[in-house]
Every structure is written in structure tokens, then in C-alpha cells.
Structure 1
């Protein structure tokens, strides 16, 4: 039997199946990331973004087509994490705009929606790159527009649109040499294909394949919080996740740490899995700590006050007085407590916990923006994969919010040092943006997968020195790789070397390294600070 039109109920099911299919295969998407660093991977970011859409749809009382489209779009806009999540949110935004005023979608309207989705996503990226999720979306849209008149069955039409997307995905390595070298297709494009596959199956009434659930629990929630009352809430976010490959992790240390940032802590270890539940005001900090112990899955964060119908104004955190208006406010993303303290000393107003390993969402930025009573607010994403989310938050705010596109922690520090309260906002924005290019940053971490990139064969567990988005040096010893990375950053006019050591390291651990650097570069000042960032042994800068 032909399906000629899609109504709101059918579209909701397509969204739900798309999100479920991506969640099932997100680890496959994560494995496609070319850069083998322990980061907020594409599949995880896209899945968490789309999951926020589904949470918002769960609150929707009707299945009117535009309401379903708009709700899914809004959920993704606020929940967007990483560049891939922001692009996904823009695809949904374009679809929602095209569906406005419609009660059902025929094939032409569906084609128009697919085209609007791709167009909106392209416009959101300043310099679109072919061979990415954008290419996959565009080719599906072009096929839909070119062939809509040939179909009377919606399912047949969308199935062939999907096939075009799969074909485009298979050709992404020919468009991006880095993909071809690594022998993978684009991760964002693959994530989009999983979503569309799920949506088509939802329309067809097919069952989705299910990923194996962790044996530690087959329940949707780890802990039943349904009996909680508003007065029971001290910390606002119910945070749950499972840590995989954690056979050597110390669950007692994790439990002790979580008790310092929240309550209702549950940490249960079963072989190589750890099940975690905590109520906290800082879910990102819980994720960051857990990532030092293994890989995360089944991540779930719920705003308990919202679930219990408590106004944000009733919460102690949200009721925090903004104080008298000031000319400037600053929001910075920080991956470690030590770096957060440095930011505060430099005058940063609000800190968002996160970074490479857990990309903050657009909503994380808007929440901090709302707490600042300032004429002008500057955002420092401090990671290239967070810039789009910061930009999205800035455009959604009614306040004067400006993004300084910092890609590294040292860039933010240098930018804050260049801030001058005696000049106007435009001059400060220009000065802080311009100074980013004067900072050479390096990072030392380990490889989480085997890969080949930039002509180098890298094995899982290798120590890598990274700068400028490229792996500069690879080895087995942290100090040796760090020293070589600094060598690659040095120029004749360099005057200052800054070293921020990571979580688990102490200043004395850097003594031999610093002594060797000071002896080799005796005309340079060397500064050592605790960054306490997870997974990255050192963050470096040379100026």
C-alpha cells in the first residue's frame, strides 16, 4: 500500500526512529573520526543533540505537523553539541521552517523540506567543506528536487533519497584526502545516514536493529527518582552513564569525587563496566572525571526541577543575584579545575566545564549568558569543535553577545590578558580576536585508536604531540614527546613557554622536563601551572 503523505504522528515516529538508530550505532560513527584523540566524538555529539529533540517531543501534547517539526528543531538547537550537533540542529531548523503552515507533507513538500534543511545547514557554516555531512545533505536534497515528480509513493521516494545519501557518503574520501588516507568515510555524514535510515524504517513500520545493552542493567533508568519532591532537590541535574572498558578503574575514587560535586551518588562496578548515577549542578564535571577511566555510553542528563514543574526562578542556582550591571562579562569553557582558577583570576565571569572530551551544548552557553548582567558578553569556546555552539548561543540571545573564536586554552588566556576596560567593545573584540593568531599551542595526549594520518602510522596508546590541528610528533614517552613538540613550536623571537600539567600530574613531575627546556632555551621564560585537565598530559603555549 502506497504512502502518499506524512502527517505529524508519522513525522514524530520518524524522528524517534532516527534518533534511536543513531544511538544504536553512534560508536560506529565515533570510530570514523580521523583524529585519534580522546575527544567528544561525532556520533556521541549528534546522538546527544538529537536525544534532546526527542525529550522535547515527549512533552508535546499534540501531533500537529509543524508543532512536531518546530519542537524537534528547538530541542536540537538548545541541545546542540560539537560542530556536527550544530549542523544537525540546523538541518532540523530548515525542515521546520519549510513545514510551517502545513498539516501534511506530500512528496513535493517533503522534497522542499529536504532542500530547506540542506540550505539552512550550509548557511550556518562560514566556510562549508565538501566531503562532509553537508555534502551528504546537499546531494540528497538535489536528488529529491530533481526526481520528486517521478514518484507517487512517499516510502519509495525517501528510500531512493536515502540511497543517494549513501552514495554521496561513499564518495566523501574522494573529496577529502584526509579521509582517504585514513580509509574512512565522513563521520558526520555517516551519522546523518543512520538518522535517515531510522526515519525511513519508522515510516515503513519496520523494526530497528538494537545494539546489545550493557549487561549491568536492562532498565531505562538506573535509579527511580519519581518519588522526589521539589524540596528534596539540592543539585538540579540527574546524571547517569555507564563507563566501558573500566576493569582497572577505581570505583571508590570515582564515588568520592562525585560526592564532592553532588549527592544521590551511585557507583556500581561489574567486571569492565561501571554504572553511575549522581545529582549534580555540573554534569560535565562528572563526565570529565569518568572519561579518565574509560569510554562512556548511555549518557543521560535530566533537569529535575523542570521535570517536577519547578520554575527555574525557584532554584537556588538560577535565583543567584546577577548583581549591578557591569560593562563586560566573560564566559569561558574550561576542561580542568586548575585552568578554571586561572580564568577566574583573569576576570572570567562564568565557567563552563567541558572541552575536548565533553563538548558543551548551546544551552550550556545560554544558561551562563542568562546569569550575567553586563552590557557586553564575550564567549570563549576554547576548542574548534565548540565554536559553532557558541555562535548559535550568541545569535539566540537578546543580549549583546560576541564570540571570540578561541580554539585553545592558551589563546583564551592571552586574549583575556589583552582586554582593556578603557576602550570600547568593538576595539576589545578586535584586539582579542587578533591576538589569537600570535599564540602557538601544543597538546600532549594519547591515541585512542589505530590510524594513519599525515603520513604517520599511529597505534592505539601512542603518545602524540599535537599543534595547529596536526600531529607533530609521536612516541612512547610523555616527556620526550613534549620536548619535541616544544621544539616544533619555537621560533627565534619566542620569549615565553607556558606549561599546564594535567589531572594526575604534579608540578614536580615536570621538573626534569622544565630543567631541560630552560637549559636549551635559556633566553625564554618558562612558566608552569596546574591545569588539571583530563586525558591531556600537557597543554603548552609558546609566545
Structure 2
């Protein structure tokens, strides 16, 4: 192969040719490690199908520059793309083509800019990017590339991109539980590494590849059952607006997961979703434009788990408000979804959280009444038919922490759920908030700015006066009332707007009044309550 320091139109053609050759050779290997988002063993086939369409479009087409060659390849790939991985690959080409428009030859700086554009285009197309996937590998590449003119030629940029991608791919099992459980790297990411290795070979003439550890995953012991469908179509939108596309993503996310709405041309979009209702997915498109080139394929997912669930087939996940609390829970190895204050998680967010564990039995701990209700609504979703999903009722994040404290993966699944539910129910909950407006309560009138104390959702005291002192009085007052009926452990989650030193005040108060009680305090990061307290 004739090497080239930079990427011209002939080099683009050779690159696509090498991609087809290598993805054909790797198809079985990539299909064999395909476990996320659905273990349907088709990622390698989808990538090959997509890139083959790009090659066929370039054959016999006269293109004077690299930018035009990339545009031809991208348009064909977008229209032929199959599966999540195929759509993402098509957006990689589309992003590069957009950056290189009108450019005859891409030098190192231009290629780096094109790959960063590819990252933006692919990420923008996916409704909810997930760490540990093809997108993570692509973003690692984008971040590592030099920014600016520099002296690195295109071959050097491609070599750095391929090396970075291989390193990011090796890290994907540490980012996504489904991969760790199966003992594999991400299949789409493996395909992207092959694509970048092909670019290196095109520009250097050397067929070298950074070694990638890939462990085969077999589905031989699984019982296939077509529970859901992969629905793909092109959608022509007469007058697209950002709000309209956001509404389409939301509608598709309510039906299933792996939602992609990718630009496919002027007023045209490539739609992809895994869902149980084919008609509803098409109707969502009809509400916004004209669907065409519709393709539907069954997704073969494992059958129901046996009644006796091994520890590796079980998982506990959490849904909370407050980044600090999410970091605390996630630091202990529990997958956690953080939701904006006063917000609710989307259906796709919850589906991704549950399915990302790759576990047959999933226990959900949601840190609030509304979060618990949202989690309960999704348990009956058709996408979760092959999993046993149980929501432990929690009205406060302190009850989530109590449940996690007694979680034992060696116990039987049912017994473990009961233990966590009992721990959560036995934890009395208190909170201190600052009144946002005047209100009448059971214990008197609260004026905006007063500190209001709650126990198990009921107002028990109101403290007016100095800002810092009123919060201290409310906190110690709530604590005394909760401990009046007993307790051995107090857990406090400190809100984002809590006064400095409040935990010291509580510690000193307990040492003086209840030295037998243990106190633990954590940053919660919540904005709706100054303090959240739990007593066990």
C-alpha cells in the first residue's frame, strides 16, 4: 500500500477499503463479544454492513478532495447504517466530512479537528451516552488529540488516535458492569479501534495494531427469546426545530432504550430504538415527519433467570438527588443515577441503569417518594421482561444508606431484599429546610426564611431569627425529638447550602446529651434541604 503523510481523496478511498477488509475479518470476533445494550451478536455485522455501503458509494465516483470523499462515504453510511454501532460509525464519517468540507488534503491539524468533530456528531446523535461504550472510546481519542496547528502530520495524529482508542477500549469493562460480568470489552469500541488502525495503515503503509485483549463471550447457555425489536428508519422532517427533535427523543425514550436521532442530511434524520412496540415507534416518527426506509429486526435476549439467583446475577442500584451523595454511593461500587433537584429520571435513564448491570435480579433504591414512584413505574416496562426488578420503598436518601448498609450479596435474593426493606423502614427520617414562602403548618405560621424541621414528613418545629442560629436550633430540636423514642446511630447528609460548622454543632450536642449515640455525617449535595437526618 502506498503510504501518505496526509489524507487526500485517494487515501480516503484506501482507508474505507481497509476498513471493509478488517471489519470483515473481525466480524465474528466482534459479534462474539456483543453483550451491551443487547446481547444479540450483531455489532460486527452492523459495522461491516455500514462501512461496505460507504465503499460502494465511493467506487466509480470522481471526487477531487478528501472532504468530498468523506461526504460521499458519510451519506451512504448514514442511509445504510444498521444498529446502534452502525449509526455511530456513520456519524463519525459525517462529523469528519462536516469538518473537512471543501478541503482537498487533511494535514495533521485538520485530521485532529475532523476526529473531534466526529466525536461531537456521534455524541449528539445518541439520546443518552453511556460510559464504557463506543462513544467513550471515541471521546478519549478526541480528548487526547493535539489542539492547534502543531508539527504532527496526519499519520502521527492517526497513530496517536489508534493507540488512545486501544487504551480506552481496554478500560471499558471498568466503566460498564455488563462488560465486566461477561469478561469482554465493548464490541462497538473494538470496531472503532479497527477503523482507526485501518487509518494508520493507510497513512503509514504499515499494518500494525496495538494489541487488544478480547475475551470471547458465548450465548450458548442462554435461551433466546424475541422480546423486543430493533426499529430503524429515516425520518424526513419538513421544518425541524431543536424542541421538536427533543420531543421525538423523549417519545422514543419512553418506549425503550438505545435511542438515536442522527442527522442524515437536510431535514432528514436516522432513527434507531430498541423497544417492544414497533407501531408506537413509527407513530412517534409520524408525529414529527415522514418515516421511510423502515427496517425492523428481532432482538434475541436471554430467557428468564432461574429462581435461585447467583451473586454475580444480582445487583443493587440507586437513584438519588445530589452529586455528592451519588459520589458517596458510587464510591462503594453501587451503580447510581443522579437526578437534578426536584426532577425525575427519564424512562431511558432508568432502563439504562438497570440493564447496564447485566444482572438477572436488580434491586432499586430510590432516595425519595417521587424517585421511588418513577422507579416503580418502569419495573413493568417490556424492555425489562427478562429481569426481576424490585424497588425498595425509600422516602429519603438516609433510608437508601441504611438499606445499603445491610445489603449482603451472599444472601438469597429474596432475603436480601427483605433485609434492605426492613432497614429502610426502620430508619426514622428528619430534615431541616428553609421556608421559601409564608405558610400555615400544624405547629404554627412559618415565614419565608424560617428554619422548618420535619420528622417523617410532618412539620414538628419552626425556628425564626438569625440565619445560622435558627438552623442549629432546628437541627438539634429535630434530633432530640427523633432520639426521644430511642436510637443508636444518627446519619446526617449535609446540604449544599448548610452553614459551616453545623456538623460540629451536632456532634457537640450529642456528646453532651446522648454520648451513647454514634454520629456519622456525609456531604449530600442536596439543594432542597439544609440537612437530612436518619436515626436507626
TM over 0.5: no
Which of 1 and 2 has higher RCO (CA within 8 Å, sep 6+)?
1
TM range (shorter): 0.3 to 0.5
Bigger Rg over Cα: 2
- When normalised by structure 1's length, the TM-score is 0.44
